[in-house]
Every structure is written in C-alpha cells, then in structure tokens.
Amino acid sequence: MLKGKSAVVTGSTSGIGLGIARALAREGANIMLNGFGDAAEIEKIRSSLAEEAGVKVLYDGADMSKGDAVEAFIKKAEDALGGVDILVNNAGIQFVSPVEEFPEAKWTAIQNIILNSSFHGIKAALPGMKKRNWGRIINLVSAHGLVASPFKSAYVSAKHGQIGLTKTVALEVAESNITVNAICPGYVRTPLVEGQIDDQAKVHNMPRDKVIREVILASQPNKRFIEIEEVAALAVFLCGEMAKSITGTAIAIDGGWTAR
C-alpha cells in the first residue's frame, strides 16, 4: 500500500513508535527510526526490520528537544530517503507532580520533546510534501490530549497543544493532498507501562492484576490495555488512500475512556 513512500517516526526505538515503524515498513514504506537506547540493540532493530520488510531502514539519534536538531533530522531523512512522505511525531516523556511543585526544567523539557518537536518536524517536512502534492502527518497524542488527569499538568498541556497544532495545520494544507491527524490512545501495554505497574504494586502493596484494574486502568472502561498493534493499524489506515478525507481529527483509541 505504501511502496515507494518514506516515513519518519520519532521516538521509534521501542514501544508505540517502533510498532508503527514496523507496520509502515510491512506496507512497503522506507523508514527513518529515531530515539535513544543501546547502540547495538538499535542496530539489531534496524537491520532486522530492514530484512523482514525488504525496505530501507535508517536510524538517526537526533535530540527531539532541540528545534534545530529536529529540522536537521528531517533534512537528513529527505536526503537519505528521497523525501519525507509520512511524518509520525511520537517522541515524548512524562513527569508527575502537583503543579505548585512542578520543576520548571521538567515543564520545559516536556513541552520541547512533545509539542515543540512536533512543530519543528512539521515545519521542516511540509515544503517537500507540498512539492510532491502528497503527505501524511500523524501526531501520536494520548487520551490526555482530550481529557486531563491530576499531577500531569505539563504532559496534558503539551498533548492538548498537539491537538490544536493538528487542527491548524490540517486547515492550512487541506488543498495540498496532505492530511494531518492525531491518534489518542489510552493506556497501551509498553515496556514503560509494565515498569509503572511494578512501581505501583510496590507503592500500594497490591498484586499486579489488582494494580492493572484498579489503578492503571481505572479510567479505561473496557479494563484492558490497548495493544501496540491496534495503534499501528490505525496509523497505517490513516496513511492509506481510503483515509484521504480524514484530516484535522483527534481519534481516540482508548477503550471508552473519553466517552465518560
């Protein structure tokens, strides 16, 4: 479906980002991976994905917290892959604190890595998309782009901002055959969340299954994790021809969380 297209996925050395990169590669897209991690492990991921999907897979460890690094990263991807047809802004971090105690450095870091990197990536990728008269931009947001939770002021603010950015850019490029959408998952079973389960089990002195149901998934009515493959499948659909009229939307995939 995406043979001949090239995709950049930020924060894609693990978790949701890697799942989306894999799904796009299986559809024939060349991939530029990005993220932090052990160099040998990242190379193993890159080479195995290239071999499995039969596409070109590259990696660049650009720091998404720095605007000039993001723009240089997009330029590198364009030069190496012949263009950036698909941009998935997935990089993110989290920090939890009451707002009056929230460290300013953490606030700034979260805005830089989530919201500002999305802006810089889109700004850098759009000229090429417009020139080719085709593009797909997906901002990987969160249910927290639609609703709030206490103690997550920076994250919720950045994610709400991503949805505003999604809508604005979608309107600006509506006649250029470029779509811009946000995917808003609830809790997804990732290595990061698995670690949170263990931490919460210790804090609350509760068994893992009870932590999952009563703490982690308390806001998620279906009481099950979203699977990475579900999010990746939605991303692939949004990149396809049958989604060409879906733009400027924030699509929840959250087990009913935001239906409350």
Which residues are known catalytic residues? 155
For residue 131, report the phi and psi dihedrals to the nearest 5 degrees. Answer: -60, -40
Distances (CA, A) of 183 to 45, 76, 254, 256: 24, 26, 10, 14
Q: Which residues contact 117 (CB under 8 A, 6 or more apart)?
A: 10, 64, 65, 67, 70, 89, 91
Q: What is the largest CA-CA distance in the chain?
A: 57
Q: Cβ distance 254 to 186 under 8 Å?
A: yes
Of the candidates 39, 44, 46, the one whose C-alpha atom is nearest the C-alpha of residue 12 is 46
